[in-house]
Structure 1
Amino acid sequence: MDKKTEEFYDRLKEELEKSNSWPALYLFKFIVPTDTDKIEKIEKAFDCLGAVIKTTQSKTGKYTSISVDVQMKSSQDIIDKYIELSVIEGIVSL
Structure 2
Amino acid sequence: MSSSQNPEEFYEKLKDQLYESTKWPSDYLYKFILKSNIEDMAKIEAIFNNMGAVINTKASSNAKYTSISINVLLLNPEAVIEKYKEVINKVEGVISL
TM-score, with structure 2 as normaliser: 0.92
TM-score, with structure 1 as normaliser: 0.95
In structure 2, the residue matched to 1:76 is 78
- Pick aligned residue for 1:54 from 42, 53, 56: 56
SS of 1:55's equivalent in the other structure is strand
Q: Which runs of 5+ in 1 are unaligned?
A: none
Matched, 1:28 2:34: no
- Pick aligned residue for 1:64 from 63, 66, 91: 66
Q: Matches of 1:47 and 1:14 in 2, distance apart?
A: 27
- Cα displacement (A) at 1:25: 0.5
Supply the AA of the counterpart residue of 2:85.
Answer: I
- Cα displacement (A) at 1:21: 1.2
- Cα displacement (A) at 1:58: 0.3
Q: Which runs of 5+ in 2 are unaligned?
A: none
- Cα displacement (A) at 1:41: 0.5
In structure 1, the residue matched to 2:40 is 38
Give deviations 1:4-50, integer Å, cap 9, x for gaps: 11110011000000011111000000001100000000011111110
Q: Matches of 1:14 and 1:60 in 2, distance apart?
A: 38
Percent of pairs with identical residues: 43
SS of 1:53's equivalent in the other structure is strand
Q: Matches of 2:51 and 2:63 in 1, distance apart?
A: 28
